Amino acid sequence: MSEPQKILVVFGTRPEAIKLFPVVAALQADPRFTPVVCVSAQHRQMLDQVLAIAGLVPDHDLDLMKPDQTLDGLTAALLTGLGRVMDLEKPARVIVQGDTATAMAGALAAYYRQVPVDHVEAGLRSGNIYHPWPEEVNRKIIGSIASLHFAPTEVSQAALLAENVPADRVHVTGNTVIDALHWVSARIEGDPSLAAGLDELKARFAGKRIIGVTSHRRENFGGGMEGIAEAIRQIAARPDVAVIFPVHLNPNVRKVMGAALDGLDNVALIEPLDYPHFAHLLAISEIMLTDSGGVQEEAPALGKPVLVMRETTERPEGVAAGTAKLVGTETAVIVTELFKLLDDKAAYEAMARAHNPFGDGQTARRIVELLGNEIGR
């Protein structure tokens, strides 16, 4: 038997960690591969929470997070830091996920060394390079470099084929976020203490209909974030509703949300949740209000309608399937659409029961099999 192939898995943010730990686990279980994990710590605290619950200890930690760093400064540090790791490890292949600066720089550093790059969650496109910003361009850069494109859906596959990516390089696998959600949900079922931190809030809001909120998109900073905050304030004025909002660490989010929502009886502004607690928040929420990409995939797996506070989405499959709806950042639209779901049972059930197009929990296994086929060529 030939020597195991060394695969460098690169990530730096909480969403990347969630979506890649199932891939790392599948690689570890396959004798054809030796995974090496490098984290940039583009997000430090939130990344570490996922590493802890997944039992994942990185082989390399660049620890690059700095307050208020610029995108060009971050990108330069990522490119040189990841390049040093690649020069040391000399991997056969590099895996990146999604659309972060870490993923883009990891792909570019590998390309400079002529190391094949495999892209998990490939082919997502909004068609607007400023929404989401800078993620849309990060994806396009990775897409122009990648050797294998693991597209979560047929829509993302079609986007890549439209960009003239060879058809034999694109594989529809589903999304690894569903693998991760199934894994952590089973862990919570076996050990409820993993998500016990929400028990006090559940007791405080007993009898109320919980709305889960996340918001952090750069393109919403400023007026968009203010519109979202005002919408939440109006939603929380309903006596039958409670809002649980894990507030992102970015000061552009915290300042606006704190000013608008601090002290409201029906709003809990809480610290970012670790992954088990966030999965539990999805489970206890009636509706998710978000500008996140991952929540558009995760919440439908638990039958939760998603209102997306963005003008465009690179996940149109959810909108087409009826699990998600774009509502933008205008206060009146957000409030109207959310109240419709609260007050119209048929509208709620139509979204809650819609088919989730993002996967069946077997994506990591498919990805590793495809990698095995590639090295066997």
Rounded to 5°, angle at Cα 71 from 228 and 8: 110
CA distance 143 to 123: 7
Ramachandran bin of 41, using left for φ above 0, alpha for ψ from -120 to 50, beta for the remaining angles: left
CA distance 236 to 376: 57
Residues 6+ apart with CB under 8 A from 29: none
**DSSP state, 36?**
E
CA distance 335 to 289: 10
Half-sphere exposure of 15 (CA within 13 A, CB side): 20
Helix (H, G, I), strand (E, B), or coil: what is residue 159? helix
**Rg of the chain in Å (alpha carbons):** 20
- Taking every pair of Cα atoms in the chain, the longest distance, rounded to a whole number of angstroms, is 66
Cα dihedral across residues 192, 197, 200, 202: positive or negative: negative
- Which amino acids are annotated catalytic? 99, 121, 135, 216, 218, 248
CA distance 229 to 226: 5
Rounded to 5°, angle at Cα 306 from 318 and 190: 100
Helices marked H in 205-330 — which ranges? 223-235, 251-261, 275-284, 294-301, 316-321
**Residue 270 bridge partners (DSSP):** 246
CA distance 235 to 340: 12
Cα dihedral across residues 115, 121, 122, 124: positive or negative: negative
CA distance 166 to 369: 19
